[in-house]
C-alpha cells in the first residue's frame, strides 16, 4: 500500500522549525497588528532564515532561497499550510511516488522565493505556501494532461478552483506573499505537465505510450520550467526589480486599504531612530538599513509626537 513519506517529513521539519522560531523569540508573540497569524516578529523571522532579497543577492546567503519553505509566520499559518499539504499531498505522493512529489515541491518552493524576491524585494516572506501552491499547480497540470482518464474531471476542476482562491486569500496576510504563490503555482503546473501524465493500459495490460498531446505538453512544460528557473536566478543576482512593471504589486499581497494591519516595511518590520534634544534625529530604514538624517527644530515637540511621527517619516522617505 503506497504511503506518504516526503509529505510527513516536510510537516515534521516545519513544526520543528516553528518551535525554533518561538525559542529564538523567547516565546513572545508580535502584536496582531504586525502579525495576525500569531507568531514572532520580523527580526526573528529574518534571523532564522526568512526571504530577504538583499541578504540573498548582496550578502551571498543563497540558502535563504530554500529556508522560507519550512518557516511560517505564525501558528495559524503553520496549521493551515500543514493541513493543506496533507490534504493535497497525500493523494499525489501515494499516486505518483515521493520522488516526483518531492521534485515538484522543491522546485515550486525555489521559484516561489525567486518570484517574491523579484516582485516584492522589500517584503519579508516565509511559508511553505509557495511550494504547496506548486502542488496545486501540478494538479492543474494533471487535470489537463489526464482529463480523459479521470473519473470526475468536472468535480476535480471545481475543487482545484476553490483551493486556488482559498490560498490567494491567505496570501493577503502579512509575511505571506501572493507573488510567491503565483510563482509556485506556475512552476508546479509546468512540472506537473512533465511528471504526472497518466498512460492508459493496452490490451496486454502494459501502459501505452503517451499520446501526442501528452508528449507535446510534457516537452513544453520541461522547456518553460527551465526557462523560468534560469530567468528567476538571473534576475535575482542581476538586481532586477520587477516592481517597475507593477507599482501596486504590494497591494496584491498585503492590501493596506483594508486597515487591518500595517503592510509597509516600516510598520511591519519596525525601524530605529535616535532623537537628540536639539531636534535632530537619525532614522535607520528597515530592510535596506539606509540611515536618514533630519531635524525637527523642537526636541520637546518631537518627543510629544512620539514614534508615530517617525513611522510616517519612515514610510515617506525609506
Are 92 and 137 spatial neighbours (Cβ–Cβ below 8 Å)?
Answer: no
Cell 513572545 belongs to 28
Instruction: Please state, as a whole number, how many other Cβ atoms lie within 10 Å of the Cβ of residue 67.
Output: 17
- Beta-bridged to residue 207, according to DSSP, are 201
**Residues 6+ positions from 150 with CB-CB distance below 8 Å:** 143, 156
What whole-number distance in Å separates Cα of residue 35 and Cα of residue 16?
20
Pull the grid cell for residue 68.
Answer: 522560507
Instruction: Please state, as a whole number, how many other Cβ atoms lie within 10 Å of the Cβ of residue 213.
Output: 13
Pull the grid cell for residue 226.
Answer: 527551465
Which candidate, 194, 184, 170, 52, places its Cα nearest to that of 106?
184
Annotated catalytic residues are 129, 181
Which candidate, 89, 107, 86, places its Cα nearest to that of 98?
89
The SS3 call for residue 282 is: strand
**Residues 6+ positions from 6 with CB-CB distance below 8 Å:** 89, 93, 98, 101, 102, 105
What whole-number distance in Å separates Cα of residue 144 and Cα of residue 256?
36
Amino acid at each position: 500500500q503506497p504511503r506518504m513519506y516526503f509529505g510527513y517529513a516536510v510537516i515534521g521539519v516545519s513544526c520543528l522549525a516553528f518551535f525554533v522560531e518561538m525559542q529564538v523569540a523567547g516565546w513572545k508573540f508580535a502584536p496582531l497588528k504586525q502579525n495576525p497569524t500569531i507568531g514572532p516578529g520580523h527580526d526573528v523571522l529574518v534571523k532564522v532564515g526568512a526571504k530577504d532579497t538583499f541578504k540573498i543577492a548582496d550578502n551571498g546567503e543563497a540558502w535563504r532561497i530554500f529556508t522560507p519553505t519550512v518557516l511560517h509566520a505564525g501558528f495559524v499559518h503553520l496549521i493551515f499550510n500543514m493541513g493543506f499539504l496533507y490534504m493535497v499531498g497525500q493523494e499525489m505522493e501515494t499516486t505518483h511516488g515521493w520522488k516526483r512529489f518531492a521534485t515538484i515541491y522543491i522546485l515550486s518552493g525555489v521559484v516561489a522565493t525567486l518570484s517574491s524576491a523579484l516582485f516584492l524585494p522589500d517584503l519579508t516572506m516565509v511559508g511553505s505556501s509557495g511550494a504547496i501552491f506548486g502542488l496545486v499547480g501540478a494538479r492543474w497540470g494533471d487535470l489537463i494532461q489526464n482529463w480523459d482518464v479521470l473519473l470526475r474531471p468536472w468535480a476535480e476542476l471545481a475543487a482545484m478552483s476553490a483551493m486556488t482562491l482559498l490560498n490567494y486569500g491567505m496570501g493577503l496576510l502579512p509575511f505571506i506573499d501572493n507573488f510567491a504563490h503565483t510563482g509556485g503555482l506556475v512552476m508546479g503546473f509546468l512540472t506537473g505537465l512533465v511528471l504526472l501524465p497518466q498512460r492508459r493500459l493496452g490490451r496486454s495490460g502494459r501502459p501505452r505510450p503517451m499520446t501526442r498531446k501528452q508528449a507535446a505538453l510534457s516537452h513544453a512544460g520541461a522547456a518553460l520550467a527551465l526557462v523560468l528557473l534560469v530567468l528567476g536566478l538571473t534576475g535575482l543576482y542581476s538586481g532586477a526589480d520587477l516592481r517597475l512593471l507593477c507599482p501596486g504589486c504590494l497591494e496584491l499581497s498585503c492590501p493596506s486599504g483594508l486597515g487591518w494591519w500595517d503592510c509597509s516595511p516600516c510598520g511591519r518590520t519596525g525601524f530605529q531612530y535616535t532623537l537628540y534634544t536639539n531636534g535632530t534625529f537619525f532614522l535607520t530604514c528597515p530592510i535596506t538599513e539606509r540611515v536618514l538624517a533630519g531635524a525637527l527644530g523642537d526636541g520637546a515637540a518631537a518627543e510629544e509626537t512620539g514614534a508615530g511621527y517617525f513611522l510616517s517619516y519612515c514610510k515617506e522617505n525609506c
